[in-house]
Amino acid sequence: MTPRSEAVGRWLGLRWESRRGKGGAIRVLVTGAAGFIGSSLVERLLSRGDQVVGIDDLCDFYDPARKRANLADALGHAGFTFVECDIRDAEGLSAITHARRLDVVVHLAARAGVRPSIERPGLYADVNVRGTANVLQLAVAAGARRFVFASSSSVYGNTTTYPFHEDDRVNEPISPYAATKLAGEMLCHTFHHLHGLPISCLRFFTVFGPRQRPDLAISLFLSRVGQELPIRVFGDGSTSRDYTFISDIVAGIEAAMGYDAPFRVHNLGNNRPVSLESLIGTVEAVTGRRAIIDRLPLQSGDMLRTCADISRATTELAYEPAVTLEHGMARQWEWMQAGIE
């Protein structure tokens, strides 16, 4: 370890040490902290009194300024420390937790997106697989009591069994992104087996809401339909997704952080799949404008349908998604409009 790395580790360690035990607070490290889900989780953890260190490399997959804006409130909180670090940088990660202990690691950082992964499979494997191995090593070294891994509904591929259950076979991913998430789950199981690290793997189903990435369908459709610009629609509109609002996902992550099981996989979805055609109808209702559709063929790597069986999460995590697509989209549209100057 370099002198600079040791200095960073000591500095962060002192900050954690000075807050240990405040009101029963736990020490949580969140990777991907400046992203859509990460920043929302960070704010929730800070609101309940936890001590949080957030890691993010602020990459240019989308505008880094948006990511910094996501963390604006958290950066002013005494319980939060932000470190700009790439999860592929094993030495940098080691410096963050050098000689210090953590209670929980929530690993959200990843290269996201099915279609971009087809164009850059090597990058996705490097970040999502090697990076996950590095974060798992960090958790073991820091004595974490629990590790929460953000997986994806994409691991189910084009299975014909609905709804998707955690015990379904997931050995036929149809995109590099899906393959990296499945590899991440397998790495998690390996580290659990070798080191006894308790792990929760959470398969997220199409998360939406304020701060959603600008390239994702709801965000993109709201923006373009709101400006009376055409939207690209792949297929005949019959494909469907299980849309899950951000506050429901954060509640599921929070429950998994406190779940007492050696290794477990949970679906976090809404169990209410919506067709693409119906989604566009909701966009029109929320924006008050008609969609101008540029219809294109289905894309390679896209799943035809997602639908979560959430019975395990409901029973074991008391997970009960509460926000409907219509209500959640209206809140996202309101947030997007508030950002228009």
212 in any annotated domain: no
pTM: 0.91
Residue whose structure tokens are 């997007």: 336
Which pLDDT value is given to residue 302?
A: 86
Average pLDDT for residues 311-332, to the nearest whole number? 98
Flag whether 136 is in a domain: yes
8 pLDDT more than 70: no
The pair of three-digit structure tokens given for residue 189, joined into one six-digit string: 């199981």
Check whether 341 has a pLDDT greater than 70: no
Tell me how far apart the alpha carbons of residues 313 and 237 are, in angstroms, rounded to a whole number.
30
> pLDDT per residue over 73-108, tens digit each?
999 999 999 999 999 999 999 988 775 689 999 999
pLDDT digits (tens, 9 = 90+) for 177-192: 999 999 999 999 999 9
Place of tokens 């697509």: 325
Q: How far is CA 291 from the centre of its chain?
A: 29
286 domain-assigned: no
The percent of residues in the chain predicted with pLDDT above 90, rounded, is 86
Nearest Cα to Cα of residue 295 among 204, 230, 241: 230
Please state the rounded mean pLDDT for residues 212-233: 96
Instruction: Round the average pLDDT of the chain to a whole number and report it.
Output: 91
Q: Which domain holds residue 163?
A: 3-207+244-272+305-322
Confidence band for 24, pLDDT divided at 50, 70 and 90: low
Active site residues: 177
pLDDT band at 72 (very low <50, low <70, confident <90, very high): very high
Residue 237 lies in a domain: no
Cβ atoms within 10 Å of 149's Cβ, excluding its own = 25
Average pLDDT for residues 314-331, to the nearest whole number? 98
Mean pLDDT of 152-172: 94
Residue 235 has pLDDT above 90, yes or no: yes
Residue 236 lies in a domain: no
In a domain, 44, yes or no: yes
CATH number at residue 44: 3.40.50.720
- Residue 96's pLDDT is 84
In this prediction, residues 229-239 reach a mean pLDDT of 95
pLDDT above 70 coverage of the chain, percent: 92
Q: What does the pLDDT average to over 259-265?
A: 96
* Contact (CB, 8 A) for 57 and 86: yes
Cα–Cα distances in Å, from 80 out to 39, 53, 154, 271, 321? 11, 6, 32, 34, 28
Domain assignment present for residue 133? The answer is yes
Q: Do the beta carbons of residue 305 and residue 279 sit within 8 Å?
A: no
Domain count, the chain: 1
162 located within any domain: yes
Cis peptide before 121 (omega within 30 of 0): no
